[in-house]
Structure 1
């Protein structure tokens, strides 16, 4: 194999140092996505204040605290679901968000809990609020996947038959275990220091970020009240498909040698979307 076919992802995850403070690309991606979403909702589409009968102050609170609860839920979800053994040994790892480790499903639960509280407190319809927010969720999803790629984490499965395969130096330890089972890869491993893999973060950026954004906002133009259900259905299907190319977390592995935890967690989302869509179209 010729090395020119492989891109090596060795981007420095740290943007700059300010004394003891380090600024990470991963955190910056989420911050930029929040500012972008805030700008669109607050400054670019004032009609929603009238349409959803929500004042600007309440809308700002929804965005700020909804974002915070999403981050908290995402971190808790990742540590409890994917990384429980390490988390209980070192609970402070929960605050190390620059290292990555965000569970979308955990983040969604955190956001839902806050929206339920917000809706009840201010006497808003729950789905009126979710229909307002979900068309912009792909912005955060896409930004997060770019952060994952820069961090060199959540890489895809081993491959050599695609010209855009990527060498992730951080996969070194996992690759050593891989070649014990598949020794034919040893030469490639010794040549590149790691194995070529699918850049599944970029696949997710395209599908969860760009494609899902286009789908949801095309529907939004038609004032479709089913947009929350359509988000659940489409995200779940995209996640189930993209997990085919994504390497499951080493501490979790496959279920029944076939399914990943991400696929399993997406099934309740898919069913929920179908039920909501059916209920509101009876």
Structure 2
């Protein structure tokens, strides 16, 4: 099982690697090789049953169809279908996935509430396919420099507002710590949570809305606002205050994406806020 998720994480991380040449006209992407290996390992370890493999194959087919039909009349139908399938996977609405618990009712500190952490193959896979087929990415090492300023600005604003408001309302308090499981938690949060959520809300949703409204200058703010609002609604199970805090953070992630039109800015901003919360404040919140 560990091999399954190590391969899945490596597949997501390798999206930024160049394809391998297999001849004059044929190349193969490292992420695809690693993902196939992760899927086979998932079947062998019991993480994936056959319905899960069928669902993942369907998502791959929809994403390939959307890419093939770019510029054609039916492109939007393929794109919407791929987004809907990705959302179903992210919400764990499809059968055949046996996502393991990584942490079970642990506390990061005595005053914190307990939380459980899963390694979600379905959500991570949805994020991977959206990242590969729909999210605009950087394609050269030098281009990363352009992300530094907007990412740090968005992170500073988001962490100050959201964590400041959570502290002011008594939901968290300063709590500097590095739990024994910190490295694993942060890796899962980055690769399986932040990538998946930003690939959907910014790389798929916000990017599609931005393209649709490109000719309407007065509505340039709409894609960011819609993606942030839906991002907040997706976390509504945490209660009104938590939903509002997530919405404010979502606006910062959406702004980072709007400024750069590159998914890396949104992913890094999201992860830096989450890491700051985890390492420097009560996580996930104070116990009553």
TM-score class normalised by the smaller sequence:
0.3 to 0.5
TM-score by length of 1: 0.36
TM-score by length of 2: 0.35
